[in-house]
Structure 1
Amino acid sequence: MATRTSLPPDVQQLAAAHRARQQQIAAQAVAETNRLWGFVETLGWASVAGQMLSTAQSALMEAARGVQGYVGAAVRMWGREPDPFGQVAERTFAATASDGRPLDTLLEQPALEVVELVDQGMTRAQADAIGRRHLQRIVATQVADAARVATGVAMVNDRVVEGYIRHLTLPSCNRCILLSGRWYRYDAGFDRHPLCDCVGIPAAEVVDPPRSPREIYNSLDDEERRKAGWSGHDQRAIEDGADLFRVTNYRRALKTVTIAGRPVKTTLVGTTRRGLAGKRGAKVRMTPEAIYLEADRLNWDREETLRMLKLHGYVV
């Protein structure tokens, strides 16, 4: 496997444009669901639930659209020709939430939260504001996840892709800064937190990190570091010689949206006779990242991983 010390000039720009497109889709979806939220208090959740779901699904579908073309374009920038196993089933990434649960139940959580907060004595206005913020975070996170997970499947699907490089979108949290620039195998899951803006750059070769986390840290001013999660005391400790990674890991741990180990998360969506996974004999439907975890645990080769992605309806 070849190794480079730098990325091809255009690949990082391609990844940034890919992420900017997802951010625009997310912003539009958040604006529309925020508008719909204004009717919840007077009409009730049941009256707007269908429109909420339709808006979110359309955004997720749009976020996943074109991922195979994106990965193929990146491969060509590496001087190689794409070698896809099949066609990424882009529509399937709008069928569920990124953790495998039905999307409608996730979208309903803020409305249920408002009822509970009001029952506990909070004013309706305060509870409504909390619910609104929760909904905005859910929608933005799900759009980003749909793009990331679909892109991940597209990278596994193309046999030329050896892995991906984690690319930072500033401003960012300190844990993401520590992970920035790292090389991951093509079937590695993507650690992320709600509202995470990081993306994976498809790579046909192993690449040394273009910038170290310490270089990124040094490029930030005091206020940017505080927003990332490093307190004044943290910064002083780092300046006095404390290890950047140890200080950061002491302060917090990166939370992920998807499961990071067993038991494996599954979903029943798409497993009926009409669903793509159901037609292929899957009784439960594993999420893509759950498949990657099993691939790592059982030492599957790429062809077996691709077979499982096809079985569960993510590749056709």
Structure 2
Amino acid sequence: MTRALPLPDAAPCAQDPTHVEAVVCVPTFRRPEMLAATLNSLAAQATHVAFRVVVVDNDAREMRGVEVATRFFAEGRLDGLVSVEPRQGNVFAINAAFGLARERYPAADYFLMIDDDEIAEPLWLEEMARTAREQGVDIVGGPVLPEFPEGAPTAYRHHPVFWPAFMQSGPAPMIYGTGNCLIARRVFEGLAAPALDERFNFLGGGDTEFFTRCRRAGFTFYWRQEARIHEHVTPGRLTLSWVLQRSLATGAINYSIDRLAARSPYARLRLFAKNVAVTPLSLHRAMRMLAARRHPLAAAHPLGVAVGRWLASFGLLPQPYRHS
């Protein structure tokens, strides 16, 4: 169970939940320095939106994220609260953050999320909230733009796993990740709890499955290209093994989402047919990417996705979010 922690000398007016329009949720796990940079970017928001921040530390042993968040709140740089989710896994942490935010700030209409290795531009929150109000949509997404270290090879700079799904503002069929999103309260109220399916806890993709259910339930999406967040790409991700594993995981996630919806024998037969069809399609996409002078590593991505689907169909699922 998630447990909220008291803040030292918290000003009652700063914690008044009746004057909050939006809550920014920040799940964190063993990244205290990066978390501090993320919170710095939230403290620098240029916005008229009354917002609070909810930090959920998924490391119940060291709780270094708690120390960082508590310092920000105690110094008055941000208003909000911090809690610990002792059950390990990104789905548990995200569900805890959204759940605590809705419970503690009942007047808030919008719930946003940013990862603990991301930096929001100063107008991020303003752009997201304004888009939700003006467009009347249920869910808003924005780009997470990679910041590569100097000298990063071109093969990685142009690889699809690092880039957002859309590149211009407008209505979207759905979004795929919670790393830069706004979700209206009515979305959570219209779906069964918990928000993210715990079966995706260590695989990843719980956010994609959640947004898939949102789309099927009729909720509307909008992409705001101007609501930019930046993510520092660590050297550990600039390796052949990491990129290939990410491609395989994408395929496994896509298959797992399709499998959850395939409840009848006919639907499962269609799912098998989809796997069969994806194989030549992925080869065709890879050849087109090579013809367009894309790097072979990028062209291998659709092939990796197809292989990941087949591996998942045999129960072989990666667990990139399982930590010791």
Bin the TM-score by the shorter chain: under 0.3
TM-score by length of 1: 0.27
Kindly indicate which of the two structures has a greater share of residues assigned to helix: 1
- Identify the structure with bigger relative contact order (alpha carbons < 8 Å, sequence gap 6+): 1
Larger strand fraction of residues: 2
